[in-house]
Amino acid sequence: MSDRHPRRAAVTGIGVIAPNGLRTDAYWKAVNEGLTVLDLIGREGCEHLPLRVAGEVRAFDPSGLIEDRFLVQTDRFSHFAMAAAALALDDAGLGGDPADPFSIGVVTAAGSGGGEFGQRELQKLWGKGSKYVGPYQSIAWFYAASTGQISIRGGLKGPCGVVASDEAGGLDSLAHAARAVHRGTDVMVVGAAEAPLAPYSMVCQLGYPELSTLDDPGRAYRPFTEKACGFVPAEGGALLVVEDEDRARERGVPVRAVVAGHAATFTGASRWAESRQGLARAIRGALDEAGCAPEEIDVVFADALGVPEADRAEALAIADALGAHGTRVPVTAPKTGIGRAYCAAPVLDTVAAVLAMEHGSVPSTPNVFDVCHDLDLVTAHARPAELRTALVLSRGLMGSNAALVVRRGDDSAR
pLDDT in tens, 199-241: 999 999 999 999 999 999 999 999 999 999 999 999 999 999 9
Q: What is the pLDDT of residue 413?
A: 40
Judge contact between 238 and 174, C-beta under 8 A: no
pTM exceeds 0.75:
yes
**278 — phi, psi (to 5°)?**
-65, -45
- Give me the mean pLDDT over the 185-196 stretch: 98
Q: What is the set of domains in the chain, with CATH numbers?
A: 9-251 (3.40.47.10), 260-409 (3.40.47.10)
Judge contact between 317 and 283, C-beta under 8 A: yes
Gap between the Cα atoms of 379 and 382, Å rounded: 7
Calculate the CA dihedral of residues 31, 33, 39, 42 and round it to 10 degrees. Answer: -60
Gap between the Cα atoms of 259 and 105, Å rounded: 17
Q: What is the pLDDT of residue 138?
A: 87
pLDDT at 5 over 90: no
The larger pLDDT score, comparing residue 400 to residue 270, is at 400
Q: What is the pLDDT of residues 377-394, one digit of tens each?
A: 999 999 999 999 999 999
Judge contact between 182 and 245, C-beta under 8 A: no
For residue 58, what pLDDT band results from cuts at 50, 70 and 90? very high
